[in-house]
Amino acid sequence: MDLRGKTVTIAHGAGGKQTAELIAQVFKAHFSNPYFTADDAAVLPAPEGRIAMTTDGFIVSPRFFRGGNIGKLSICGTVNDLSCMGAEPLYLTCAFVIEEGFPFEQLEKIVSSMEMTAKEAGVRIVAGDTKVAGKGQVDGVFITTTGVGRIMDNVQTSGSFARPGDSVLVTGDIGRHGCCILLERDEYGIEAEVSSDCAPLWNSVKAVLGKVPEVHVIRDATRGGVGTVLYEIAQESDTGVLLEREFIPVDPAVRGVTDMLGLDPMYLACEGTLVMVVAQEKTQEVLRILQTQKYTHNCAVIGHITESEKGRVVMRTAIGTQTYLPQPGNELLPRIC
Amino acid sequence: MDLRGKTVTIAHGAGGKQTAELIAQVFKAHFSNPYFTADDAAVLPAPEGRIAMTTDGFIVSPRFFRGGNIGKLSICGTVNDLSCMGAEPLYLTCAFVIEEGFPFEQLEKIVSSMEMTAKEAGVRIVAGDTKVAGKGQVDGVFITTTGVGRIMDNVQTSGSFARPGDSVLVTGDIGRHGCCILLERDEYGIEAEVSSDCAPLWNSVKAVLGKVPEVHVIRDATRGGVGTVLYEIAQESDTGVLLEREFIPVDPAVRGVTDMLGLDPMYLACEGTLVMVVAQEKTQEVLRILQTQKYTHNCAVIGHITESEKGRVVMRTAIGTQTYLPQPGNELLPRIC
């Protein structure tokens, strides 16, 4: 279908002929796989053992940004949430709410990114839904994805499993997605080349857990960034976190922007960077594996879990001074994911 | 927590302390069950055999209506989609997009309806997500629910399984949800007491399939109404449908309103009424079972599947005249679900 100049109308969301056409021409054309359903629900072989299930809504503004768009992000977010539980992403659903008048060309780009990202992560999109809201009743397009995965044998991760002495890792440099969105909004007049880190991380996680199933914690540092995740882990496991400031990988462009604006990259969202907590003796092996994987070669140990300072995160500088990382909770950048 | 007068702020969606409070005070307070997760995904025992998975976005306006609200609807919609596949609803996720300034009291009412409806259907809410969009970027609250269910043994339903001679049933009187929403919007100045049929139908479906697993088709007649569903079935199974107008159950108030406005109840949404296609010799047994169940005692045979008129739906009146039911596809009432 030639989509140029065409826009989504209320009739595309009414459940009749136009809805069927939209599904056939845009969604089926991209998401086609043996499980993709025309019925009320997809019929799927049940995975064995334990499954993981997660959902995420995406409302990012702007919806196209350097390094990705809302479609790619919506697949990465759910794939990464499953990955954090050690679950192989199997089935994904996606629900769209689209504003009347939304250009088909943009929808096509979004859906095509979703297809590519799902393929890369090895997950199948099995069911979808489309609603159309009137002009001004939704800002462009919102996407909700939900995923089901099979948890790898012998793997059990949880924020409460961090133990004193464990190493704290990040799988890449931090704060890039949040910084990128901030620049895209162009409210500060800053010119800097920062791409979102938005990426599906299942292949990296699978490689690590295949060799080291006993990783204690895996969390993706999305909204709230690495700082918020570390406070959550400290509180859930009743331990402390001691970070070495100089070890924390930050892209020089991100550092420049955050210094200029007085922001802390620890509190900017990542969309392709995980926090891992690993027993000290397994740390080098995990790092070596991550370094061989596509999105995680910038991985680094940034600190360790402590018995003291329970529930808190302490930052140590190169010259040895220590300060508490500020508690998260202020109003952060809205609509970053 | 005393929610009176409080509203949702951007900080409630930022992933930090306020998000955690919102989850604890509203969502956890209502959705609490052993599987409800604080981690990135819920960890669940995998069902055996075949599973069904479905997703649905809900943007209904107004969000509170006679007989339900957007929360109740969001559970019913997904429970009913699973039911149509003969799947016992097991796990549900829900993702909220909330407008800044949305009153906590309304959110609390919505979430509490979701809890009650999920309990009635025997399904567990296992994971959720909350995003907050700025004022004017979303109209109040949108909810996306996704469900996973276990398909009953020996059950296989599909729109393509209708066979000539099969009976066509509805499980209740039709068009009530669409008519109710239309009246609630108060654009026509019509006074009539019409309640939405919004209801979770798993218990009815389970009762039927427990005795008659060989039901051919089950579809919920939501957007597009019964007319659209029947056209879908005719096309997917390459058969015709012959309806007897006088057998189609329509609430007198709905009949009055639709006659006044020149609408056809066949094209108004139902949210608690299914279409079933059943072998002729099983019809009486299915009717008897439906009549004993809470939401389906108004069930009726409305016609049968024909070999002729493939892909079309024919309506026969009491005096024997036959006309084609108009093909669905015009712009129907927007934001009814």
Query: Is the Cβ of A33 closer than 8 Å to some Cβ of chain B?
Result: no
Question: By C-alpha distance, which of A183, A143, A168 is closest to A230?
Answer: A168
What are the two backbone dihedrals, phi and then psi, of residue B63, each rounded to the nearest 5 degrees? -85, -15
Q: A334 vs B134: CB contact, 8 Å cut-off? A: yes
Task: Flag whether pLDDT at B113 surpasses 80.
Answer: yes
Put simply, the chain A residues between 287 and 316 with a CB less than 8 A from any chain B CB are: none
Residue B57: closest C-alpha in chain A: A95
Residue B332: predicted pLDDT: 67
A219 vs B contacts (CB less than 8 Å): 40
- Pick the most confident of A31-40, B5-14, B23-32, B54-63: B54-63
Put simply, the chain B residues between 192 and 231 with a CB less than 8 A from any chain A CB are: 219-220, 222-224, 228
d(CA A221, CA B15): 10
Q: Which of A14, A236, A331 sits opposite B223 (nearest CB)?
A: A14
Express as a percent the part of chain A with pLDDT over 90. Answer: 82
Number of CB pairs < 8 Å for A and B?
271
CA-based nearest distance A11→chain B, Å:
5
- CA-to-CA separations, A175 to A59, B143, B145, B174, B234, in angstroms, rounded: 19, 29, 30, 53, 53
- Determine the residue among A40, A181, A276 to mutate to test chain B binding: the one whose Cβ has the most chain B Cβ atoms within 10 Å: A40
Token reading at A208: 């690590």
Residue B174: predicted pLDDT: 98
Q: B224 vs A15: CB contact, 8 Å cut-off? A: yes
Q: What pLDDT band is residue A332 in, cutting at 50, 70 and 90?
A: low
Q: Which of A39, A85, A146 sits opposite B93 (nearest CB)?
A: A146
Q: Which fold has domain B159-324?
A: Phosphoribosyl-aminoimidazole Synthetase; Chain A, domain 2 (3.90.650)
d(CA A178, CA A270): 7
Q: B57 vs A151: CB contact, 8 Å cut-off? A: no
Q: B87 vs A53: CB contact, 8 Å cut-off? A: no
pLDDT tens figures, B269-306:
999 999 999 999 999 999 999 999 999 999 999 999 99
Question: By C-alpha distance, which of B220, B208, B207 is closest to B78?
Answer: B220
B59 vs A contacts (CB less than 8 Å): 97, 131, 133, 137-138
Helix axes B70-84, B202-211, angle to 10 degrees: 10
A15 vs B contacts (CB less than 8 Å): 222-224, 228, 269, 328, 332
Q: A93 vs B54: CB contact, 8 Å cut-off? A: yes
Residue A16: closest C-alpha in chain B: B329
| For range B71-86, the mean pLDDT | 97
- The domain limits of chain B are 10-151, 159-324
pLDDT tens figures, A125-181:
999 999 999 999 999 999 999 999 999 999 999 999 999 999 999 999 999 999 999
CA-based nearest distance A319→chain B, Å:
30
Q: Give exposure, A167-191, as e/b (b: 16+ Cβ within 10 Å).
A: bbbbbbbbbbbbbbbbbbeeeeeee
A158 vs B contacts (CB less than 8 Å): 39
B149 vs A contacts (CB less than 8 Å): 41
Architecture of domain A10-151: 2-Layer Sandwich (3.30)
Return the amino acid letter for B1. Answer: M
Question: By C-alpha distance, which of A65, A55, A53, A54 is closest to A333?
Answer: A65
Q: What pLDDT band is residue B330 in, cutting at 50, 70 and 90?
A: low
Residue B331: predicted pLDDT: 58
Q: What pLDDT band is residue A238 in, cutting at 50, 70 and 90?
A: very high
d(CA A272, CA B93): 23
Put simply, the chain B residues between 160 and 189 with a CB less than 8 A from any chain A CB are: none
Least confident window among A72-81, A96-105, A133-142, A189-198: A189-198
- For B267, residues 6+ apart whose C-beta sits below 8 A from its C-beta are B175, B178, B224, B225, B226, B227, B228, B328, B332
Residue A331: predicted pLDDT: 58
Task: Flag whether pLDDT at B329 surpasses 80.
Answer: no
Return the amino acid letter for A151. Answer: I
Residue A227: closest C-alpha in chain B: B16
| For range B247-265, the mean pLDDT | 95
Q: Please state, rounded to an integer, the average pLDDT across all residues of chain B.
A: 94
- Determine the residue among B22, B36, B40, B333 to mutate to test chain A binding: the one whose Cβ has the most chain A Cβ atoms within 10 Å: B40
Residue A38: predicted pLDDT: 73
Q: Which of B56, B84, B333 sits opposite A95 (nearest CB)?
A: B56
Put simply, the chain A residues between 93 and 112 with a CB less than 8 A from any chain B CB are: 93-97
Q: Which of B85, B139, B148 sits opposite A138 (nearest CB)?
A: B139
Contact by Cβ (8 Å): B163, B239: yes
- CA-to-CA separations, B84 to A67, B23, B142, in angstroms, rounded: 40, 31, 24
Residue B92: closest C-alpha in chain A: A53
Q: Per the omega criterion (within 30 degrees of 0), is the bond before A34 cis?
A: no
Q: B15 vs A132: CB contact, 8 Å cut-off? A: no
Q: What pLDDT band is residue B242 in, cutting at 50, 70 and 90?
A: very high
| For range A211-236, the mean pLDDT | 95
| For range B313-329, the mean pLDDT | 91
Q: B56 vs A144: CB contact, 8 Å cut-off? A: no
pLDDT tens figures, B36-67:
887 788 999 999 999 999 999 999 999 999 99
A52 vs B contacts (CB less than 8 Å): 41-44
Question: By C-alpha distance, which of A112, A323, A289, A12 is closest to B224?
Answer: A12
**Order of all β-strands in the sheet with A300-306:** A217-220, A274-278, A167-170, A300-306, A240-244, A313-316, A322-324
d(CA A201, CA B327): 46
Q: Which of A18, A58, A134 sits opposite B334 (nearest CB)?
A: A134
- CA-to-CA separations, B316 to A71, B20, B307, B323, in angstroms, rounded: 47, 58, 16, 7
ipTM of the complex: 0.95
Q: Where are the alpha helices (DSSP H) in chain A?
A: 17-22, 29-31, 70-84, 104-121, 176-185, 202-211, 225-237, 252-261, 283-291
Q: A41 vs B96: CB contact, 8 Å cut-off? A: no
Q: B144 vs A95: CB contact, 8 Å cut-off? A: yes
Task: Flag whether pLDDT at A15 surpasses 90.
Answer: no
Query: Is the Cβ of A6 closer than 8 Å to some Cβ of chain B?
Result: no
pLDDT tens figures, B198-235:
999 999 999 999 999 999 999 999 988 999 999 999 99
Put simply, the chain B residues between 269 and 288 with a CB less than 8 A from any chain A CB are: 269
Q: What pLDDT band is residue B160 in, cutting at 50, 70 and 90?
A: very high
| For range B299-316, the mean pLDDT | 97
Residue B47: closest C-alpha in chain A: A46
Residue A187: predicted pLDDT: 81
